Amino acid sequence: MAQEFEPVGSTPFPAATAADVLFQLRCQAPLTHIITNHVVTNFTANLLLAIGATPAMLSDPQESSEFQSLAKALSINVGTLSQSQAVAIRAAVDAALEAGNPWVLDPVAVGPLSLRTRLCEALIQQAPSAIRGNASEIMTLAGFESVGRGPESVALSDDAVEAARSLAQQTDAIVAVTGARDYITDGEQVLRVEGGSALLTRITGAGCALSSLVAACLGTGRAPLEAAASACAFMAAASEIAEERSQGPGSLSVALLDSLYDLNLHDLERLES
């Protein structure tokens, strides 16, 4: 349920636009190449399939490069990065740019760890279409002061809006900073998605899967700001319904797949009330 809160400069994202992107997503089922961490691979693939996208998890450097001629979008996540995965990520991003495909970065736990931090700093110079992270990650990547605690945020998304805007201006990417409220910005306009379920923080992979859902929405060819905000709205609406149907984190993650499967305009409109 939406709260009485109007952060200066942000506007609520309309349900009707999200429903339109959902329709396009289901019509096109965009093939989305995902290089992600080994904690969330299965959950991410199931989540994309449930809503109607087509995930493909490939991580060999040569195949990652070749696959971009087939895929519509690429999702990169550094959650369990290794030196060899970094090679595949670089190959895939180069190929995505070559093919003209949109690509999304999820900078999991960027900051305290050098391998992923150096890679993320290099990747944001490579024209990502969107960057999705929690408040700590977005603040760190934007060069704002922040203390991270591994993959979990220690900051509020409400306090990371300026960092998100700054990062968007630095990179020309859409930046989505998520948390109790999600903010999605192109550096000027800031859209807001409210609602959802705090129980999402009690299962692993909600943020990672959301980043891949952003990539799938971008793969429809929709304008990146609307595509990224739509993915956030899908997760918020579906998790709100899933929480009502579940008893805790275990049943929530199953109920989330079910509610994404039959998500509709009516569900998305609940976020506005």
Ligand X SMILES: Cc1ncsc1CCOP(=O)(O)O
Binding-site sequence positions:
57, 132, 178, 205
Binding residues for ATP: 132, 178
Of 15-23, 57-65, 163-171, 191-199, the segment contacting ligand ADP by CB under 6 A is: 191-199
Residue 134's DSSP bridge partners are: 178
Looking at residues 112 to 171 of the shown chain, list those that interact with ligand ADP (rule: CB under 6 A): 134, 151-153
| Paired sense of beta strands 182-185 and 174-178, if any | antiparallel
CB 142 within 8 A of CB 185: no
Residue closer to ligand X, measured from CB, 19 or 139: 139
Residue closer to ligand X, measured from CB, 15 or 177: 177
Of 123-131, 158-166, 177-185, 199-207, the segment contacting Mg ion by CB under 5 A is: 199-207
The pair of structure tokens assigned to 168 is 């968007």
Helix axes 114-123, 83-99, angle to 10 degrees: 10
Looking at residues 67 to 96 of the shown chain, list those that interact with ligand ADP (rule: CB under 6 A): none
How far is 155 from 136, CA to CA, in rounded Å?
6
Q: Which residue has the tokens 């008893």?
A: 247
Residue closer to ligand ADP, measured from CB, 59 or 212: 212
Looking at residues 203 to 222 of the shown chain, list those that interact with Mg ion (rule: CB under 5 A): 207
Binding residues for substrate: 57, 205
Strand order in the sheet with 182-185: 10-12, 190-193, 182-185, 174-178, 130-134, 103-106, 73-77, 31-35, 54-56
CB of 40 to Mg ion, least distance (A): 9
- From the list 204, 240, 269, 272, which residue makes contact with ligand X (rule: CB under 6 A)? 204
How far is 202 from 252, CA to CA, in rounded Å?
10
How big is the site for ligand ADP, counted in residues (CB under 6 A)? Answer: 18
Answer yes or no whether residue 108 interacts with ligand X by CB under 6 A: yes
Q: Which residue has the tokens 């400069």?
A: 9
- Which H/E stretch holds residue 139? helix 135-142
Answer yes or no whether residue 46 interacts with ligand X by CB under 6 A: no
Answer yes or no whether residue 207 interacts with ligand X by CB under 6 A: yes
Answer yes or no whether residue 48 interacts with ligand ADP by CB under 6 A: no
**Closest alpha carbon to 28 in 50, 56, 45, 53:** 53
How far is 172 from 168, CA to CA, in rounded Å?
5
Measured over the CA atoms of residue 98, residue 99, residue 100 and residue 103, the dihedral's sign is negative
Residue type, 35: I
Answer yes or no whether residue 55 interacts with ligand ADP by CB under 6 A: no
Contacting residues toward ligand ADP, per CB under 6 A? 134, 151-153, 178-180, 182, 196-198, 200-201, 206-207, 210, 235-236
Name the site residues for ligand X (rule: CB under 6 A): 37, 39-40, 79-80, 108, 151, 204-208
